[in-house]
Structure 1
Amino acid sequence: MAAAEEDFEFQLQQEEIQQHKREHGDPFTYTDPDDGTVYEWDQEKLAWFPKITDDFIAAYQANYGVTDATQQRTASTTQQTQQQQQQKKAKKELKPGEKRKANDPEWFDVDEVKNTNVYVSGLPTDITDDEFKDLMQKCGIIMEDAETGQPKFKLYRDQNGQLKGDGRCCYLKRESVELALQILDNYEFRSHTIHVEPAKFQLKGAYNPALKKKKKKKQKKEKNMQERLLDWRPERKEPLRPKHERVMIIRNMFHPKDFEEDPLVLNEISDDLREECEKFGIVKKVLLFDRHPDGVASVAFKEAEMADAAVAALNARWFGGRQLNVALWDGVTDYQIQETDREREERLKKWEEFLDKGADIKKEVTTEATTSTTTTTTAASSSTAGESDRGKTEG
């Protein structure tokens, strides 16, 4: 019964709305009886606003006056309002659960402010890539491809693979484009007058999404590339050497048993080795693998060339009665030897004995010093007493 009553009331409301439309027109519009201004109801803001029509604009211009700029802004506002109304209407027409169709894909123009490409024409048809690169570098740094690391320029060819006499170059900075237009436009190059202009990209054929490059997360890589290109320091002409070639390995420098009696010898050898190696360059780290049976030590230099000089000077030299075997580290071999639990206990036991021995020696030295001081004091007292007795006798 309740559902039937609700349906009946809803039907009565719809009939009243239809009757109001027939008598008064659209229920969402209102005409002012005094001046005839038409207002429309904004459902979102819940308020009446003047309806923007051609008659309303003409009446507004006649009453308040308008300039050309104002007319343009008004026309733009009118167009935007109409577009918004069409969008709202399209949303209302959507059925429940139906999604709005996306806009058809299309090519977009490159922003002039961000465009760092220039188009060059009038080039010789036998120009090489190196010649074109040297020519364009006169006006700035050429961008490098983030994937290949190669400079981004191109000489165009025809269907037969022959050069057409034109090309494109991508600079790192926008200022280089302006400089190229001033310097290289109408520039004489090998008896050819070349022409330079900002590059324009046009669509050839129908739009194909498969040809569009996919966006990749390479902002950090591109930033590092730009910082390297803008770095003022000169580039290394020789290829960079591996980091492990900065480390020098020395064999037969000691024997593990050398540290059993006096563990402090380890520090003495390390200090002597650092002092000797600093003659060849900056030493970053010195390690002694005291458990290795071959008596291995390693020295890390700041540069590989420093390690080369140290190897050449120290190999086959004698140290503490042992002939050294010196070479660069291969980057793979691990000279660290892990001790077992038993070996660790023995090492700690020997270390305690060493400390106790040192404490006993210190105690003996202190006792001897105290005894010597007491003896000296007694002798001095006896001497003073004897002199006093002699003085009394003489008196």
Structure 2
Amino acid sequence: MSEGESSTNSASNTTTTSTAEQRFLDNRWVAWNRKDTFMEYVDNEWKYITDEKIKSSLRVRWDPIVNEEFLAMYKMNYGTEEEVEEKVSQSEAIKMYMEEKEHIEEKHNDKINDNKVIINDDKQKKNKNSKRPAGWIDFDEEKNTTVYVQGLPLDINEERFIEIFSKCGVIQNDPRTNLPKIKLYKNDDGSLKGDGTCRYIKRESVFLALQILDGMKLEDGCELKVEEAKFKMKGEFDPKKKKRGLTVQEKKRFLNKQNKIFEFKPDLPVNYRPKSDCIVIIKNAFDINELIQDASLLFDLKEMANELLNKYGPVKKVIVYENHREGVISGKYNNTDESDMAVKHLDGSFFRNRIISVDYWDGRTKYNVEEDDEQNKARMEHWKQFLGCEDDTDEEIKDQ
């Protein structure tokens, strides 16, 4: 190529690039002449980029590398293709918004109506159950805990019956009477028939009774025949004979009391002492007539008993039971060591010239009794004598 031709190509390239779009990509200037022809600026000249060229004696096809850096640079220069949203007028936008709002409200109302239908169905089911006609009900045999026994001695009593059947499990108590749910059937004249029923708490007790008690011979030679009780409808249902059902609170108390029977209780230690052993009971400390004659003696008794008991340890509380005919005074210690010393030294000793008996409180006996009519009458007569108006009536006293 001659010098003239080279200058001509250079001039033409300059003219072409002047009308083309130029971009700086990959550390070089690239131009596009809008006719599917790309040019690059190399050695101060614009040269056409061809698909193939000779490089290092090898024919190489030009294929631009598309990587993250290239895409980032491309997007920065040319932007990205975005969806073109159709522009609507303000009135159309308001109309679309109202239609969408009505659609959402309709769906919400439909959901509320569906929930109301479900609730009403549940209420109807409950009402159907609550309005169940009175009559016999089916008994679930898998939950049966009652056994029927035959061959009982004709002179057996309830205590002996409970003793025999309690060997196989805990007998259930009646929630109303709190008595064991057993029954010995009798004839019209009141004599025993020789059969009966027993209801356990656990179903397992029934199987155990069938294994152990069925065929068991008692001391008098009677052989027991035990089987699972079967309940059958007998006659027509009489609602007047139906027992009152338990309330929710009664059922809860009954079940809690029943479950406590099976709760695990650790063994008490060998040296265990109940709290009642901290309380000592002094008897024959005074006579009721003494208090009737002198009511102020009550305070003196309490002070003297407190002084006596404090010799063996600090006393937390002293109570004088002035209405008890045995002349009882109680004292409470902090521990059993102190109460042991008091019982040991005071039992059989003298107190106010009276021989007293001292022992531990059993935890059950109530010594706080009310004044009877005889004591009240004697006290009132003494009070009248004290006032000096023994023969006066209540009306005469008011007049005075």
TM-score, normalised via structure 1 length? 0.39
> Which structure is larger by alpha-carbon Rg, 1 or 2?
2
The structure in which a higher percent of residues are helix is: 1
